[in-house]
Structure 1
């Protein structure tokens, strides 16, 4: 990194940072009982961001030769060089513990995980029509320096394992999906058993084949902790990212200090949680990761900032400047975002509903951050009758607005479940974790079969 820090000293601007990245990625994809893809890829490059007079310029290159660096600098320099030169101070953080670096493990062992999951699913039921198993790991080494005189570096190791199963019977097609992973190595497979994860996905697809379609309408809904945090990620998370707030593209713009949710709701973003998929020691601008309370007992108290959006308001970054790679400039992004647990017993929450809908597993979702409107698919859901979870139903979607659902939640469980994903925004994808406890929504529109 020392060979590149002089870039910062040569560019006249309000703020400059440089991001150097080396990445090695392994991937195994099995479908139709065949290994469709087994690959290892390498990439390396640097990106330089310049903030001058409130505007951002970004340039990157994978040519790390002297001439490549000089060309990059030439594209960014518009004024005279700085007359003073910075002495960079290295900032260290407490790294997460990785037990087994997957880059040092033979690919045969990784193939074994994939084949075990695949073979087990096909042995379960003749109605299974398609099985996809994906294993992926990546080693990312980053070095960051900025015009504040700070320099840091970090190594991140991610491992991901997912199973997608499709089942078919009498004209009905259903899918089941399970994914596990995080900022961890092959110790992931000390926590999960490939066959068990695969069977969970398969059984969900098979069960939904014979489930009747839900009758839509307004009704009480209980969302289980194991459903994952898709709702919190979409319904409020994106709306609290400072770039959208400042552009007037968030329903939560200008609402700091106001009540936006019920007193039962506290929302936190925390990349310091050990070894989760959205965790990091430093963000992609070199700001140390920190726990940020966004909503405190229903009151909006903060947004998620990167350096640029924080500078615009005279604030400090919350450590949420993230980017997909050196080819992308950083923007405010969530990390591990969740609703904090409450005091209610999850079983009591279910018993409190006489007739309603129970969401055990969320599917995908879409949200309009300007007005907060959302639509969420339910992958696995059941009827609640007389305070008990009864028969499975399919075809359900949850429809509403983020501000409505957050205001209505009146019971929050003392449990907490997480789900993983890759969040897309501005053509960039970053790893995230979303979580929530079991919650009760007294009334929400559940889309389904009409009369």
Structure 2
């Protein structure tokens, strides 16, 4: 990392033409990627990325640049480059830098870099064996494992000078089932802001079996009917709908530009009374968790919607100026190549009072989406469509039979208002979220819940 003296010189250079805020982000990232197919190691790649990002504000204008040149001359050249975009009369006095390490909210027991690849491959092989033996129709299994160690230094002209270490790993299992005429895939993952202990504490048979079970289930599934139905969405990754269709609309990145359906609505009712929507980067060792955000602010628990009432937004430093609000510890970026902005961490609907079985039994006819897949959303309107990776018909208050090809179509704001039952089984699912500041790890979560009516795209007529 860089010394305090060098960082001070960079900040002074960045402020030399009249900027009123400057920031330095230093990153050293170590990454390992392993993939296993057919029980054999397919790829084994390791890498290291090192770079520095420099940002300067003048009012609500921001300029950002980055460099991989760690020589002092190169860093000062980059700072001068970003400073030249700012024109001002007075030079800001730099606040004394206060060095500290970020408070560790998420303890790490075994650093991935200290664990040999043979031990990691052994974990993957156990998952592969469980997947293959689940059913004779399983024709292919692919396992991926990624771990990384990201060390950062964040300093700014307000006096921040903090170091942080982020250690993450994720296991991804993909199984393919075939009956000779059709192939179906099952997918499941588990990620954490944690060391090797996360992988070695997993129930590996469950993850292997579950990916294959989804594939085999879909192989025998009937075509999904289309129409407007009540939809029960299972917990954990089911929360991806609300992440995409609602969560992004609560980020200051869109709110400050009045490009969100939630702009200027704090204090208004925007959801069902049963919906409390939270973003919490402090959840211990969760995939989307952080010690500090990428502007050096401590992680926080932010209640965005409470009992249907909009309480606030996720706010970064630049948009805090535009909106005249406080920051919320929500500024994130993929790497030094990106300027940070407001992003989610672990975003979820809080648990309610219903037993999940009671939600099913109170649904006469509808769709049960057990696992959600990918989808698309229009961030300006909140309109979305998402595929269900595994879905079932509900008839007479019971799970009837599996259906394939189910697509849930709706509007985020409208869907929030139609949530009429919320379960007590909150769970979180790991994912990657792409936006203007790059691809970042996030958790999406919810209990099992019911939306009173959604448009379901499938096959015309009843299956």
For the aligned pair, the TM-score class normalised by the smaller chain equals: over 0.9
Match of 2:8 in 1: 5
Q: Which string of whole-angstrom CA distances, capped at 9 and with x for unpartnered residues, describes residues 150-197 of structure 1?
A: 111110100110101122224222110010011001111243133331
2-structure distance, mates of 1:83, 1:236: 39
2-structure distance, mates of 1:376, 1:320: 26
**Which shifted more, 194-203 or 278-287?**
194-203
Match status 1:90 vs 2:99: yes
Contact 2:245 2:412 (C-alpha < 8 Å) held by counterparts: yes
**Which shifted more, 333-342 or 378-387?**
378-387
Instruction: Call closer, same or farther: CA 1:401–1:83 in 2, change over 3 Å.
Output: closer
Match of 2:374 in 1: 364
**Which shifted more, 130-139 or 382-391?**
382-391
Equivalent residue in structure 2 for 1:76, among 57, 82, 90: 82
TM-score, length of structure 1 as denominator length: 0.96
2-structure distance, mates of 1:49, 1:66: 17
**Which shifted more, 195-204 or 246-255?**
246-255
Instruction: Call closer, same or farther: CA 1:337–1:184 in 2, change over 3 Å.
Output: same
Contact 2:9 2:76 (C-alpha < 8 Å) held by counterparts: no
Alignment of 1:417-436 (within 5 A): 417-426=427-436, 428-436=438-446
Contact 2:51 2:68 (C-alpha < 8 Å) held by counterparts: yes
Match of 2:62 in 1: 56
What's the secondary structure of 1:272's corresponding residue? coil
2-structure distance, mates of 1:171, 1:142: 51
Match status 1:265 vs 2:271: no
Gaps of 5+ in 2: none
What's the secondary structure of 2:144's corresponding residue? strand
Q: Which string of whole-angstrom CA distances, capped at 9 and with x for unpartnered residues, describes residues 227-284 of structure 1?
A: 5321121120011111112223222222222111011001000001101111111100
Q: Which string of whole-angstrom CA distances, capped at 9 and with x for unpartnered residues, describes residues 113-147 of structure 1?
A: 12222233233434323322101100001110111
What's the secondary structure of 1:228's corresponding residue? helix
Equivalent residue in structure 1 for 2:426, among 384, 406, 416: 416
Q: CA RMSD in A?
A: 1.7
Q: Which string of whole-angstrom CA distances, capped at 9 and with x for unpartnered residues, describes residues 363-408 of structure 1?
A: 1121111111110110111111221112111111111101111101
Contact 2:36 2:142 (C-alpha < 8 Å) held by counterparts: yes
Contact 1:160 1:180 (C-alpha < 8 Å) held by counterparts: yes
2-structure distance, mates of 1:338, 1:124: 32
List, as ranges, runs of 4+ consecutive aligned residues in structure 1 with deviation greater than 4 Å.
none
1-structure distance, mates of 2:62, 2:372: 38
**Which shifted more, 94-103 or 72-81?**
72-81
Match status 1:312 vs 2:315: no
Contact 1:118 1:132 (C-alpha < 8 Å) held by counterparts: yes
Match of 1:378 in 2: 388
Match of 1:323 in 2: 333
Alignment of 1:10-29 (within 5 A): 10=13, 11=15, 12-29=18-35
Match status 1:191 vs 2:201: yes
Contact 1:230 1:365 (C-alpha < 8 Å) held by counterparts: no
Contact 1:229 1:417 (C-alpha < 8 Å) held by counterparts: no
Instruction: Call closer, same or farther: CA 1:83–1:250 in 2, change over 3 Å.
Output: closer
Contact 1:414 1:437 (C-alpha < 8 Å) held by counterparts: yes
TM-score, length of structure 2 as denominator length: 0.94
Contact 2:28 2:152 (C-alpha < 8 Å) held by counterparts: yes
Contact 1:21 1:44 (C-alpha < 8 Å) held by counterparts: yes
Match status 1:36 vs 2:42: yes
**Which shifted more, 166-175 or 235-244?**
166-175
Alignment of 1:52-451 (within 5 A): 52-78=58-84, 82=91, 84-95=93-104, 96-426=106-436, 428-451=438-461
1-structure distance, mates of 2:196, 2:39: 23
Contact 2:54 2:66 (C-alpha < 8 Å) held by counterparts: yes
1-structure distance, mates of 2:424, 2:100: 37
Contact 1:101 1:186 (C-alpha < 8 Å) held by counterparts: yes
